[in-house]
Amino acid sequence: MSSLARKAAENLAALREKKPLIHNITNFVVMNYTANALLAMGASPVMAHAINEVEDMVGLAGALVLNIGTLTDDWMASMIRAGNKATEQKKPIILDPVGSGATSLRTHAAKKIIRKNRISVIRGNASEILSLRNQDSQTKGVDSIHSVDEAAQTAKLLAEELKTTLAITGPVDLITDGRRVVRVSNGHPLMGYVTGTGCTATVTIGAFLAVDEDPVSAATTALAFFGLAGEAAGQKAAAPGSFMIALLDALYTISPEALEAGCKIEENQK
Amino acid sequence: MSSLARKAAENLAALREKKPLIHNITNFVVMNYTANALLAMGASPVMAHAINEVEDMVGLAGALVLNIGTLTDDWMASMIRAGNKATEQKKPIILDPVGSGATSLRTHAAKKIIRKNRISVIRGNASEILSLRNQDSQTKGVDSIHSVDEAAQTAKLLAEELKTTLAITGPVDLITDGRRVVRVSNGHPLMGYVTGTGCTATVTIGAFLAVDEDPVSAATTALAFFGLAGEAAGQKAAAPGSFMIALLDALYTISPEALEAGCKIEENQK
Amino acid sequence: MSSLARKAAENLAALREKKPLIHNITNFVVMNYTANALLAMGASPVMAHAINEVEDMVGLAGALVLNIGTLTDDWMASMIRAGNKATEQKKPIILDPVGSGATSLRTHAAKKIIRKNRISVIRGNASEILSLRNQDSQTKGVDSIHSVDEAAQTAKLLAEELKTTLAITGPVDLITDGRRVVRVSNGHPLMGYVTGTGCTATVTIGAFLAVDEDPVSAATTALAFFGLAGEAAGQKAAAPGSFMIALLDALYTISPEALEAGCKIEENQK
């Protein structure tokens, strides 16, 4: 049993004991589902985006989740203000750059949030994460990555460039802070048929960051937990509607011991 | 069988027969779930917040629900305008002061809505409700309440001060208009693991207010119904995802007779 | 087996193969459910409403869904801009005039969207659709329609007047472009107890329009598919909560062959 598997169990137990408040400024599509996911796993969600309230709310929270789906300029201003407060108070921020790379609004927004705040973890799929490169970046584009090793190398360079921890999710998740590289292979194909599973992975990392100061460890253990919940749901349900409900159930039901036993985490020794 | 239990059955039957339109200006997190809850129990929900539309919509509605979760200033303006129209048309308004006491934006908003409108019922948890006191209030803070009797006394004073009916929900719900004090002990612990169950209790009261002019009776019978639905859901489901679906099912399935039989309502004789 | 039943099977197969991106500017209540419905049936949903992003997003999409529930003026501006881009790029637009006729904001908004864009299909219930008539319209009001034949005649005139295809949903759906008249009688009564089933019918038509250029055929086959999914859900569930989940499951599970066999489509020979 790896130390990260043991850490996953500890984080889940700590989360359920401390019930940290997770402040979300997120998109309209997933608000309900991510709030329910946070409640089910044992955290306390709050969604608040008013520019004249976000600083107060950050003050009460254990972590701040910024998610740029359904973004508009006024929400962007609230994200920046909340992020500044969290940065000032040394509270963890996790960014989900939904759709970055697809439209210039999203790409610019994600880059601005990164530039203006100290982000603990960025969680996205490969194309979203790679869209965050600077113009003169040394990292490769998605199409020029041909192997698992190249992907890891690219991710490490980008994490260094952005001075943060990246959690790149897919069939196998890759987590890196530029030095350590960890892979998580928990998960289930039906997760791709439920809206907001990526965003829910993000809030899970947010919840784990509220009880684990190490971004690589928090992101890794959160993704193992969320992926294992997907596996449990896949044993109960064979279609997306019942799967998304079983996934919420699993976030509530999985014990720290079951998580430690079910983690599929591999840390790269290189 | 108490007269309030019989009234609960009558209200539920009337709701399903008349299908009143319930106009909601509410938060983004719970819109879908509360709309589904209203439909399931037999009402007709509409969500509308445009400042140039809310008066028209109030004109069509049987009750107005104001909920300050995810509040911003422009939504506040719509709430005030809608509330004024409902006050003018003598339509019942129910307020859910989500997060009042947690941030000053929320506390000020809730107090302003109360000041500017005739509110039939305010539904919240104990700390939200106590945050609504005026600065020179005679009522005690949450921390200084040490017994059930003190809680009732405090609630009665506050209801008088605010000139409304308070519905303070928790393991046991307390409803008072300053004279009558009623307790409802229906409910299930998993309700705390689903986002928006408080907000759904609120819309249930809104629906009952559309068929029952007496705020104490409407709030009491609505909370007994909603709590009983929670109990029914708890017999079907052991985790939050399946519980929240079973709860919607129960709102549709529970008959007026089953409600009358299952109510746990106790009116204080003092 | 009618040619439209065969076309339904072909459209569903094409949808699952091509996974077109469906761009939605829609209301807060249904965003999550319609996104999940689109994913379950095999499409790729995106919700985006920022005025400075919608043109980019239309450029990536196979169809544009405009839905005026929870509308405000700023969302209206985004809808018009997105619609103009889609019109310019000859991409199909489907309009859901939620609540048109209930408030003047909604009626004016729906009419403006129709006037300013080339709409492929408008999907609504009878009163919403009839509210779209011009002041000097020759078509009758809802109250003056006394037979199925009169309804069809009225719908044909209105489709001609609005130069679009109308999909009027109810116990029996009626689809017409002013010349052809098709009826679909798939469906289930519990669909009326789940919020956003009308909006979900609309996005289903949007998805089918992305793979079928003929608006009458796309709307007809989409409504048969969605109605058949309702029938399948009704065999699994007897109350609205579990029904809405079973409905998502059915959108994923129904095969093209089952759709062809289960279609209840009748084309008027007149």
A-chain residues near C36 (CB < 8 A): 194-195, 240-241, 244
SS3 per-residue string spanning C118-153: CCCEEEECHHHHHCCCCCCCCCCCHHHCCCHHHHHH
Q: pTM of the full predicted structure?
A: 0.96
State the pLDDT confidence band at A171, using cuts at 50, 70 and 90. very high
State the pLDDT confidence band at C151, using cuts at 50, 70 and 90. confident
DSSP string over C173-210: EEEESSS-EEEE----GGGGGSTTHHHHHHHHHHHHHT
Domain count within chain B: 1
User: Is A53 in CB contact (< 8 Å) with chain C?
Assistant: no
Interchain contact, C36 vs A195, CB within 8 Å: yes
Percent of chain A as helix, strand, coil, to the nearest 5: 55, 15, 30
Evaluate if residue A143 carries a pLDDT over 80.
Answer: no
Locus of tokens 């909603």 = B226
Evaluate if residue B144 carries a pLDDT over 80.
Answer: no
Tokens coding C257: 């062959």
**Number of B:C CB contacts under 8 A?**
81
Evaluate if residue B10 carries a pLDDT over 90.
Answer: yes
User: Is C77 in CB contact (< 8 Å) with chain A?
Assistant: no
pLDDT digits (tens, 9 = 90+) for C172-206: 999 999 999 999 999 999 999 999 999 999 999 99
Interchain contact, A239 vs C52, CB within 8 Å: no
User: Is C172 in CB contact (< 8 Å) with chain A?
Assistant: no
CATH number for the domain harbouring residue C38? 3.40.1190.20
Instruction: Identify whether B143 is part of a domain.
Output: yes
Structural domain including C137 reads 3-267
State the pLDDT confidence band at A144, using cuts at 50, 70 and 90. low
User: Is B242 in CB contact (< 8 Å) with chain A?
Assistant: yes
User: Is A23 in CB contact (< 8 Å) with chain B?
Assistant: no
Q: How far apart are CA A102 and CA A183, in angstroms?
A: 26
Closest residue to C253, CB basis, from A33, A103, A239: A239
C41 near C69, Cβ under 8 Å?
no
Evaluate if residue A169 carries a pLDDT over 80.
Answer: yes
Q: How far apart are CA C242 and CA B232, in angstroms?
A: 14
Give percent of chain A above pLDDT 90.
90
Locus of tokens 């937990």 = A225
Determine the 3-state secondary structure of B47 from DSSP.
strand
Instruction: Identify whether B83 is part of a domain.
Output: yes
CA angle B53, B59, B62 (to 5 degrees): 120
- Chains near C with 3+ CB pairs less than 8 A apart are A, B
Per-window interface: B 122-161 vs A, CB < 8 A: none
User: Is A88 in CB contact (< 8 Å) with chain C?
Assistant: no
Chain B nearest-CA distance from C252, in A, is 19
Mutate to test the interface with C, among A30, A31, A70, A104 (most CBs of C within 10 A): A70
pLDDT digits (tens, 9 = 90+) for B159-184: 999 999 999 999 999 999 999 999 99
Residues sharing a CB contact under 8 Å with residue B5, sequence separation 6 or more, in sequence order: B224, B259, B260, B261, B263, B265
B-chain residues near C245 (CB < 8 A): 245
**Number of A:C CB contacts under 8 A?**
82
Give B157: exposed, middle or buried? Use CB within 10 Å, 0-12, 13-18, 19+.
middle
Q: Which of A130-139, B29-38, C141-150, C239-248 has the lowest mean pLDDT?
A: C141-150
- Phi and psi (nearest 5°) for B83? -65, -40
Locus of tokens 């892979």 = A183
C220 near C182, Cβ under 8 Å?
yes
Closest residue to B30, CB basis, from A32, A39, A49: A32
Q: Least CA distance to C248: which residue of chain A?
A: A241
pLDDT digits (tens, 9 = 90+) for A61-117: 999 999 999 999 999 999 999 999 999 999 999 999 999 999 999 999 999 999 999
Interchain contact, B242 vs A247, CB within 8 Å: no
pLDDT at C139: 63
pLDDT at A147: 73
Interchain contact, C30 vs B28, CB within 8 Å: no
Interchain contact, C103 vs B46, CB within 8 Å: no
DSSP string over A154-217: HHHHHHHHHTSEEEE-SSSEEEESSS-EEEE----GGGGGSTTHHHHHHHHHHHHHTT---HHH
Evaluate if residue A270 carries a pLDDT over 60.
Answer: no
Q: Indicate the average pLDDT of chain A.
A: 94
pLDDT at B18: 98
AA letter at B243: F
User: Is A3 in CB contact (< 8 Å) with chain C?
Assistant: no
C28 near B28, Cβ under 8 Å?
yes
Tokens coding A124: 């996205």
State the pLDDT confidence band at C10, using cuts at 50, 70 and 90. very high
Closest residue to A102, CB basis, from C39, C49, C60: C60
Closest residue to B47, CB basis, from C32, C70, C242: C70
pLDDT digits (tens, 9 = 90+) for C13-50: 999 999 999 999 999 999 999 999 999 999 999 999 99
Chain C nearest-CA distance from B105, in A, is 23
Instruction: Identify whether B163 is part of a domain.
Output: yes
Determine the 3-state secondary structure of A98 from DSSP.
coil
